[in-house]
């Protein structure tokens, strides 16, 4: 870790990682008390990824979390009570008790798009958000996350290609935590680095230690600013480890004990505490103050959540489909003149030149020009110039050589026919 940020930024990263872990620890207790009605997914050991990447965004930027990105929600400003109530399906939750997991967002204020269970689908969605922000002149960046397993879905590739073609201001975080449920990453991806998948779409990528929160933040910050400056989408592979099972119901007995022990020794919070202490940014007193602040906050948030009522039965038939203004009143926020994106200023003349269709390797291994049917090949236009697809031999000689030889008998028969005519 390098000392590059302000003291407050260092402490912010520490606070949010500790808050992330404390929120999840409390939800585990609620789950075991049967107070959480849906699935519960842990980000134990991955807190540095969610916190470090989300902290690199500005308030106006947009994000779409996945199931292990509670830290990103906290950084964006979601209060812990909303997370508690959402998983407890309470009436005061963001979805009014209609969802028992993490499927909620805040489009109007915090610019959060709800998670999508079909893995990979958030990539084209957030590409669209990024494009919309550019169209409206907002200069925003959109960010979402995907796991190593989700990076093998078709829509991952379709979405990333779409973002690349559109040069969208979009940052994708690939959380390589070594396990797609019970499938190790080496069983599903024949690559050393998942970041290499960016090469197929002509976009840049980074690889970062996902357990080093400062490295994660500085890498994400650079990627965000490059995307905002118009350099197109960027992929970041954060290498880490999923220290719990896929969800609370999964004991993860398929994970080798030695592997778990190795990564537990690289706990991102413990590593960061050592760094902060070595740089004299955090002492025992400061650490205790942060712990007390978090404990006090979560005690109040949990009490509020537990006292929230369950939703009334009649609510079940409402807000199932969006019906317009009575559902939401979100409108486009223009930050550029609309005339710039409407005719005639937005019109582009359909003019292009087609000299050929590119080039490629011929069967002989040399470069072979490719032409449209109505475009004469360069070799034909130049007479007997050499044809690179045939080892540089003259075209005329090649044609002669290619013509079939007549036998003596065939020549005699031809002469006889000519004499009869």
Is-catalytic flag, 254? yes
Active-site residue, selected from the candidate residues 246, 260, 266, 371: 246
DSSP string, 182-235: TEEGGGT---S-GGGGGGGGT-EEEEEETT-HHHHHHHHHHHHHHHHTT---EE
Q: Could you tell me the CA-to-CA distances from 141 to 55, 60, 183, 231, 233 in Å, in that order?
A: 13, 8, 32, 11, 9
Is-catalytic flag, 242? yes
Residue 374 token pair: 């109505």
Contact 377, 371 (CB under 8 A): yes
Active-site residue, selected from the candidate residues 81, 87, 197, 242: 242
DSSP 311: P
DSSP string, 3-28: --S-HHHHHHHHHHHHHHHHHHHHHH
Residue 388 CB coordination number (10 Å): 18
Contact 237, 193 (CB under 8 A): yes
Active-site residue, selected from the candidate residues 7, 32, 135, 254: 254
Residue 79 CB coordination number (10 Å): 14
- Cα gap 225→330, rounded to integer Å: 27
Share of the chain residues as helix, strand and coil, in percent rounded to the nearest 5: 45, 10, 45
Residue 326 token pair: 């009575």
Active-site positions read 242, 246, 254
């Amino acid at each position: 870790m390098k000392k590059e940020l302000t003291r407050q930024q260092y402490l912010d990263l520490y606070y949010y990682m500790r808050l992330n872990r404390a929120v999840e620890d409390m939800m585990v207790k609620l789950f075991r008390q049967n107070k959480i009605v849906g699935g519960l997914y842990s980000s134990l050991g991955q807190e540095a990824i969610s916190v470090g990447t989300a902290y690199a965004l500005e308030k106006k930027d947009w994000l779409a979390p996945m199931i292990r990105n509670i830290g990103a929600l906290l950084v964006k400003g979601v209060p812990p009570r909303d997370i508690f109530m959402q998983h407890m399906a309470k009436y005061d939750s963001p979805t009014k008790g209609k969802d028992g997991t993490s499927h909620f967002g805040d489009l109007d204020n915090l610019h959060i798009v709800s998670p999508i269970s079909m893995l990979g689908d958030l990539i084209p969605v957030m590409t669209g958000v990024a494009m919309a922000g550019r169209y409206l002149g907002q200069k925003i960046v959109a960010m979402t996350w995907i796991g190593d397993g989700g990076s093998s879905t078709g829509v991952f590739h379709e979405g990333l290609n779409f973002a690349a073609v559109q040069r969208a201001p979009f940052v994708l975080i690939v959380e390589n935590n070594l396990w797609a449920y019970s499938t190790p990453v080496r069983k599903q991806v024949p690559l050393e680095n998942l970041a290499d998948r960016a090469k197929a779409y002509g976009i840049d990528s980074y690889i970062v230690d996902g357990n080093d929160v400062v490295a994660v933040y500085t890498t994400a910050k650079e990627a965000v600013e490059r995307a905002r400056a118009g350099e197109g989408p960027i992929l970041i592979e954060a290498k880490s480890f999923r220290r719990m099972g896929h969800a609370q119901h999964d004991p993860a007995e398929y994970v080798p004990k030695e592997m778990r022990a190795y990564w537990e020794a690289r706990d991102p919070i413990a590593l960061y505490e050592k760094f902060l202490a070595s740089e004299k940014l955090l002492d025992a007193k400061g650490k205790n103050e942060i712990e007390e602040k978090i404990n006090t906050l979560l005690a109040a948030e949990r009490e509020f959540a537990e006292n929230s009522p369950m939703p009334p039965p009649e609510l079940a038939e409402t807000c199932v489909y969006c019906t317009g203004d009575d559902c939401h009143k979100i409108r486009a926020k223009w930050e550029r003149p609309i005339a710039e994106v409407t005719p005639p200023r937005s019109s582009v003349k359909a003019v292009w030149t087609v000299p050929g269709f590119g080039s490629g390797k011929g069967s002989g291994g040399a470069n072979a020009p490719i032409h449209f049917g109505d475009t004469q090949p360069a070799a034909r236009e130049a007479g007997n110039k050499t044809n690179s697809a045939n080892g540089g031999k003259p075209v005329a000689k090649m044609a002669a050589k290619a013509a079939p030889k007549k036998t003596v008998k065939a020549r005699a028969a031809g002469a006889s026919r000519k004499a009869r005519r």
